[in-house]
Structure 1
Amino acid sequence: MAPKYKLIYFNLRGLGEPIRFLFHYGGIPFEEKRIEFGDWPKVKHSYPFPQLPILEIDGKPFPQGASIARYVAKQVGLTGKDDLEALEIDSVVDTIIDLRIALAGFYFESDEALKKKKKDIAVKETVPSMLSKFDARVKENGGYFVGGKLTWADVYFGAVHATFNHFVGENVIAKYPNLKALVDKVQAIPAIKAWVEKRPVTEF
């Protein structure tokens, strides 16, 4: 019998969206529980750690978004042909996460002076440095991050780049044609395209 999956996350795309993309890509049914920010303080201590996303597998909760995404990617055959390729894919995903952390670091900063300083560094230094390297990598690998074929690194970036756009306030991949083409390919996958067209409208 197939496992029963339940994804618990905020009512956002955010860190839950790569997991949703992977489930839909693989045609794996899953239930969703979306939690509003205002309700989170009342329920967060009922979970393994006070953080989301969480994936329940047959009722057992597992935290950490990247670990969950990697698990689902393995179920749908997007983790690489061997351990070395899997390491390469994981390193790309971890770097994408580093970029998200840098952008979230200024977006959620409450001190306006510090927010501006952090944003200047992120937008003027971190984003162009990392995205130019990503763009070159995709070009060198036949339009994908690793091995000239679709992996969960591509799906992950295709899911989270819109959040980067929201944080920065502009299309961060507009100057990077290979990344733009990659995102277009991911979002043109029929099952992912169908999800994007019907998913709830949220802030990011």
Structure 2
Amino acid sequence: MPTYKLTYFNFMGLAEPIRLILKYMGQEFEDVRIERSDWPQVKEAMPFGKVPVLEIDGKKIHQSTAICRYLGKQAGIAGKNDKESLEIDMIVDTFQDFRMEIVKLMQEQDPEAKEKKKETLIKETVPYYLAKFDEVIKNNGGHLVNGSLSWGDIYIISLTDSMTGILKTDIVTNYPNIQELKKKVFSIPKIKAWVDKRPKTDF
């Protein structure tokens, strides 16, 4: 059996979709959570100086979406054919555009500018993207693609959960199809068991 070791900071963020997919697979893994103070030293050992990094039998794999895509294939939730796989990638890549707007907010150092960016995000950016994702889910039988669970579902639901923590407001309140998908994902027994006992962090 291969061994898995996941390295990230002590919060959900980009590592949580990986954790959830590993749990869905029933795959045990070492969940290494580094402190900010230790990052300069740890960074030197990471490919391209970034996390999350998943080590599989000592081989370091980076880029969260690449990791999730690989694990999704291993778990049989990466689409039933090339077209479905393409659709998952398309939606996740679009979600990444959305996520980068949140990243810009987190990187803003000026308090006044940060508050203005947050207001714009909540009033304009979040509704723009989530309304479209909600419609995609509605039109695909309650999932992102073809009415069945994919790694993209887990990825997006996990990160909207994290974004809610960052923005300190439940961003999916007005989007019933996203809410319903969240219930589906978090009610999967192995995922639910993890969510119920995982370390409590802000985002």
TM-score (norm 1): 0.95
Q: Give, in whole Å, the separation in 2 of the partners of 1:170 and 1:203.
A: 12
SS of the aligned residue for 1:49 comes to helix
Structure 1 unaligned spans of 5+:
none
Could you tell me which residue of structure 1 aligns to residue 8 of structure 2? 9
Aligned residues: 203
Could you tell me which residue of structure 1 aligns to residue 184 of structure 2? 185
C-alpha contact 2:77 2:151 (8 A) present in aligned 1: yes
Could you tell me which residue of structure 1 aligns to residue 137 of structure 2? 138
Could you tell me which residue of structure 1 aligns to residue 124 of structure 2? 125
CA-CA distance at 1:83 after TM superposition = 1.2
The answer to whether 1:100 aligns with 2:99 is yes
- Identity score, percent: 48
The answer to whether 1:168 aligns with 2:167 is yes
What amino acid maps onto 1:171 in structure 2? D
State which drifts further: 99-108 or 67-76. 99-108
State which drifts further: 148-157 or 95-104. 95-104
CA-CA distance at 1:81 after TM superposition = 1.0
SS of the aligned residue for 2:48 comes to coil
Q: Give, in whole Å, the separation in 2 of the partners of 1:180 and 1:121.
A: 23
What amino acid maps onto 1:61 in structure 2? K
Could you tell me which residue of structure 2 aligns to residue 84 of structure 1? 83
Q: Give, in whole Å, the separation in 2 of the partners of 1:116 and 1:200.
A: 28
TM-score (norm 2): 0.96
CA-CA distance at 1:114 after TM superposition = 2.4
State which drifts further: 50-59 or 115-124. 115-124
Q: Give, in whole Å, the separation in 2 of the partners of 1:195 and 1:89.
A: 24
CA-atom RMSD in angstroms: 1.2
CA-CA distance at 1:76 after TM superposition = 0.3
The within-5 A match list for 1:14-25 is 14-25=13-24
Could you tell me which residue of structure 2 aligns to residue 62 of structure 1? 61
The answer to whether 1:40 aligns with 2:48 is no
CA-CA distance at 1:188 after TM superposition = 0.5
C-alpha contact 1:16 1:53 (8 A) present in aligned 2: yes
C-alpha contact 1:157 1:183 (8 A) present in aligned 2: no
C-alpha contact 2:166 2:202 (8 A) present in aligned 1: no
Q: Per-residue displacement from partner, 1:80-122 (whole Å, max 9, x unpaired)?
A: 0111110100111112222221112113311123213322332
Q: Per-residue displacement from partner, 1:114-154 (whole Å, max 9, x unpaired)?
A: 21332233222211011001111111111111111111111
What amino acid maps onto 1:4 in structure 2? T
Could you tell me which residue of structure 1 aligns to residue 110 of structure 2? 111
SS of the aligned residue for 1:9 comes to strand
State which drifts further: 120-129 or 146-155. 120-129
Q: Give, in whole Å, the separation in 2 of the partners of 1:43 and 1:154.
A: 31
What amino acid maps onto 1:37 in structure 2? R
SS of the aligned residue for 2:66 comes to helix
SS of the aligned residue for 2:6 comes to strand
Could you tell me which residue of structure 2 aligns to residue 28 of structure 1? 27
Could you tell me which residue of structure 1 aligns to residue 148 of structure 2? 149
